[in-house]
Amino acid sequence: MQPTEPLYFAHISDTHFGPTADYERHGFRPYPCAEALVDTLNALPQKPDFVIHTGDVVTHPDPVSYELAQRVLGRLEMPVYYVTGNHDTAVLIHQNLSFGSKEDLSDDPNLLSYAFEVKGYRFVVLDARAPDDMDPHGLFSAAQLAVVRREAQPQGPPLTIFMHFPIHRMNSIWMDANMMVMNGREFHQSLLPARDRLRGVFYGHVHQSMQTVRDGILYVAAPSAFAQFTAWPDDIAVHPDEVYPPAFNFVHLLPQQTIIHQHVIKRPAIRD
């Protein structure tokens, strides 16, 4: 049975909470931006069915930072789901953050992989966090690729994938050299059987709004909730964007199409 009504979700990413409200990264304070984000999402004229956070909830994976994140993100008035970023650990996310209803797809405590269904749409969260010596790259384990192959069948309800890392080159020297999933080609090939039911692959990590279509599959990055990176072709190092404000994506899953709106948030703190 295919869905007959729209579904809406807010796609947020890269909040980078620190251990205190005054913590700074790239010259900006993540905490007040996250507070403004929560206030904005709770006041939207169309309430999302859920919020997906595609990773880097914190900068340093410690319980204090996650407790601060839960204090803020726990105020959201709709279910919230999380993806493991390269700055996160699955264990601490499980221990400190609240989720909506879900079905775990792995019994490994070091992997955050699960599925949930809303209004006839299926959503799958994958964990591509690599060993620390590969950071900031991602890497899908054999077990996670097996999950992809099992989920990416030609028949079934509309399917949406959530992950943290990009898998396709972005035409930016530093991003292409540092940010991608190392076995992204294998992941993409594993998705192809489900391309007719795939509504999109949504990710974070790049601190930019990006859209890529490859072989009929839509890949969408959400901007960061506190600071963006530049991604010009000749960039050879990380450069925070001085102009682009915190932002998020509001996604419409309609029976016949996917629509993505980007919304910016007025920065509540002035750069020092």
Whether pTM > 0.95 for this model: the answer is yes
CA atoms within 13 A on the CB side of 232: 8
Express each pLDDT in 172-222 by its tens digit: 999 999 999 999 999 999 999 999 999 999 999 999 999 999 999 999 999
CATH topology of domain 7-264: Purple Acid Phosphatase; chain A, domain 2 (3.60.21)
Taking all residues of the chain, what is their mean pLDDT, rounded to a whole number? 96
Question: How confident is the model over 144-174, as pLDDT tens digits?
Answer: 999 999 999 999 999 999 999 999 999 999 9
Per domain, the residue ranges of the chain are 7-264
Q: Is the pLDDT of residue 272 over 60?
A: no
The pLDDT tens digits for 32-58 are: 999 999 999 999 999 999 999 999 999
> What pLDDT does residue 269 have?
58
Query: Which three-class secondary structure state does DSSP give residue 142?
Result: helix
Confidence category of residue 268, pLDDT binned at 50, 70, 90: confident
pLDDT, tens digit, for every residue of 111-146?
Answer: 999 999 999 999 999 999 999 999 999 999 999 999
Token digits of residue 149: 């192959």
For 243-262, what is each residue's pLDDT tens digit? 999 999 999 999 999 999 99
For residue 270, name the pLDDT band (cuts at 50, 70, 90): low
Tell me the mean pLDDT in the region 210-239.
96
